[in-house]
Structure 1
């Protein structure tokens, strides 16, 4: 692949040295070594990671990220929900920064690239600029958002949600894991709870590089995905209340088994996905826990998590309402109480069209096979799009396998997306309008 940039109206060639050897470029050996080091922290099943938010493994990878950033002379700031911002000064440092990022936490059975690519890719952009001595006009920042996955603390994307004001800071800090430990307590324990600003600092733009987490790019032989938006999605956390009783003598007509209410709800959610599968809809029965959840006794409490998503906003809203009704129907049939404890929503046509067009133009100018694509997963970029012009770039991953220790990307899979990120950030940060 020819790495020389072809002329493109959005690329500020006048700001760069004319010699191609001194133009910034991604060093894949350096980047891959960084990915490999990350993959040693918080190992899970063979080949994968289990690096949960605010855990000891999360502390270790945060420490390593901060060390890398300081080696690159980036200034570190940590906010009250543990988001880490690493700043590279611009020639006009009074201007708002161009920001890159994603997350370093993983699922219980996570892979080595999901989220991690966006954070370490942003670091590599800064290193590439340092290698040729290029200082952008606007400052750059690389951010690691806290608890994107929501694996340990529900809901997902808590760090970016608190930063943008989508979630109140106190509410976000109070999210608890299964053992009753809160995000706030655990961030303080690992030394990553900073002071939250009264208002988030301004961004000039935000770019998030991410693996697709789906099979489309890999199946079609595409090198870069131009993310035009996200599936409108709704998630719900439902609690059911019943009564404990002996599983033997207690009459069926008197039973109030919260476990059954939760199970019926989740079956209804799964069925909802199949109803709309033909038009691209998906519904997930994600989680069910109950207490006491033991043989010989009915459970008097259960908590269930489900979500729905569809590329069409109207259909997605219909699915969300059907999921809400399913919770009350399941409770009624089991003679249990029900409460919708949390609802979270994201997706839609939320990304900045000018940034998306710029990324598309850069991918074409660099000669990469690319296509427009909708994101089917949740990302921090969804919340940041409420705060600043935002764009996402996808890279392929083998078979679309993710949230799985079999998640796999090669250098060749990632290099085009990293290059497009570098060129897009450079264009945005050096512009003079």
Structure 2
């Protein structure tokens, strides 16, 4: 069924939950530093579980810490899943991911207010470690959920201090008993700030996400040899730090080469050891990625990035090992699901715009296995992964209501 158009979310209640979230794990002024599986993340998880219990939802936690909060349906059918993530970047904002989880909570709260039962269950999810800021790669829990990553491999990922995902889950009490994936899901919706300036710049109120930039990322390890920086001859140096630096500069140059057509390449992270003055580093780890709206161009960029990986190691005299590679994006979103979003925006009278997603999201993994759609809200000037990230109530309200109506239509369809 379609909800009457006069039914809207309780914007004040939704904003109050956002305000409560914004007080947990505060970072730079106005922002958040709520890295995955830290004490701040535990506090936010506990509050989300409390809110879910108060809404009458059945809460379960799986083996990689993702939280599921289920509102039962009239029939025992696969659930409509919706959500995002509550972890942030080190210099993160108050909206990225969080709007998706708390917006999903407002959907079920509003249905509860009205006493509306849906044919299918509705289930909210908070995915663990979407950002990848503490444990690389990103979106690891949703990847495990759909079988894209091995669970034991994911639990063994380490942060900069050597703590594994499994150890961090145990430390905050969120290694749950539920199986990771392996169950039927009807569909997946994700509400998210755009993380770009198109909606804000054009004055559109809702982003109807039709496809995603094709993206390719890589995690590389270089092994060299420590030596004194003074007397050691240049010809004999095996500086792993330099190998990583050569790779990241080459990738950045690649991005500029394709920038005119919308291509992007990111030198995301470089770690090295011992990384001390007076000493050559014998170990380095680099993360980089390339993306383009045209999958064929993105594939060419991927090939050139892979070539740069090898060349950086050879030029620096280091051994090269690829630890992980990932690809996502493309034409992945389900037409019927996108139709639910488009229809809801039209019925509610919002100015919608069809556009691609440029950033990575948990929805990318889900889209490979279940019908999936994303809804974008504008964010001011497109600034994100930054404490200045801003989405005003007026920016959030249209997308929140589109989510309410689209999810209800999907969950209650014949």
TM interval, shorter chain, is over 0.9
Equivalenced residues, count: 414
Structure 2 counterpart of 1:8: none
1:195 and 1:172 map into 2 onto residues whose CA distance is 16
Of 25, 30, 33 in structure 2, the residue corresponding to residue 42 of structure 1 is 25
1:88 equivalenced with 2:71 (yes/no): yes
1:318 equivalenced with 2:300 (yes/no): yes
1:396 equivalenced with 2:378 (yes/no): yes
TM-score (norm 1): 0.94
1:70 equivalenced with 2:50 (yes/no): no
Structure 2 counterpart of 1:421: 403
Question: Where does structure 1 differ by over 6 angstroms across 4 or more consecutive aligned residues?
Answer: none
User: 1:200 Cα shift?
Assistant: 2.4
Q: Deviations over 1:301-334 (max 9, x none)?
A: 1111110000000110110111111011111111
Q: Deviations over 1:217-268 (max 9, x none)?
A: 1000110000011111011111111111111111111111111111111000
Structure 2 counterpart of 1:338: 320
1:119 equivalenced with 2:96 (yes/no): no
Structure 1, unpaired ranges of 5+: 1-11
Of 22, 32, 38 in structure 2, the residue corresponding to residue 55 of structure 1 is 38
Cα gap change, 1:361 to 1:198, in 2 (>3 Å):
closer
8 A contact 1:24–1:131 mirrored in 2: no
Give the aligned CA root-mean-square deviation in angstroms.
Answer: 1.1
1:199 and 1:384 map into 2 onto residues whose CA distance is 11
1:355 equivalenced with 2:328 (yes/no): no
Where 1:276 maps in the other structure, the secondary structure is helix
8 A contact 2:62–2:180 mirrored in 1: no
Structure 1 counterpart of 2:285: 303
Structure 2, unpaired ranges of 5+: none
Where 1:202 maps in the other structure, the secondary structure is coil
8 A contact 1:98–1:428 mirrored in 2: yes
User: 1:367 Cα shift?
Assistant: 1.3
1:257 and 1:430 map into 2 onto residues whose CA distance is 60
Where 2:133 maps in the other structure, the secondary structure is coil
Structure 2 counterpart of 1:132: 114
User: 1:197 Cα shift?
Assistant: 2.0
Where 2:93 maps in the other structure, the secondary structure is coil
Structure 2 counterpart of 1:370: 352
8 A contact 1:24–1:129 mirrored in 2: no
8 A contact 2:190–2:375 mirrored in 1: yes
2:185 and 2:143 map into 1 onto residues whose CA distance is 15
User: 1:196 Cα shift?
Assistant: 4.2
